[in-house]
Amino acid sequence: MATCLFGDVILMLGLSPGSIGEVAFGYYLYKLFIGEKPEVKLKIKKIHEEARAGEKVPFTLLIYEPFMKSKLNEELERYIKKFKGEIRYVKNSEELGKELKNLESKL
């Protein structure tokens, strides 16, 4: 589950329990790494030396709308935003490509 921390972006293609679990767990770990829970002393590189979520660009969740039957749960959306994560809904592959290029240009 910690593999979601190996990149700058999570691409969400649906609302399966696995997808929701990975997103929730990834942002929970991210919260620990950015120091939002001071009693927990955890560094991202302790999970894996290649983990890099949030180092150069905000940890971003791209939601591919054609595969989603409904929006992301409001509570999870607020949680992600509270810890400076970004959520972007994309309507098609062209928008997805633009979002990825935009993020890549910031690296």
CB neighbour class for 5 (10 Å; exposed up to 12, middle 13-18, buried from 19): buried
Write the pLDDT tens digit of every residue in 34-72. Answer: 777 777 676 666 666 777 777 777 889 999 999 988 889
Going from N- to C-terminal start, the domains of the chain cover: 2-105
Q: Which helix (H) or strand (E) holds 11?
A: strand 9-12
CA–CA separation, 32 and 10 (whole Å): 18
Q: Percentage of the chain surpassing pLDDT 90?
A: 33
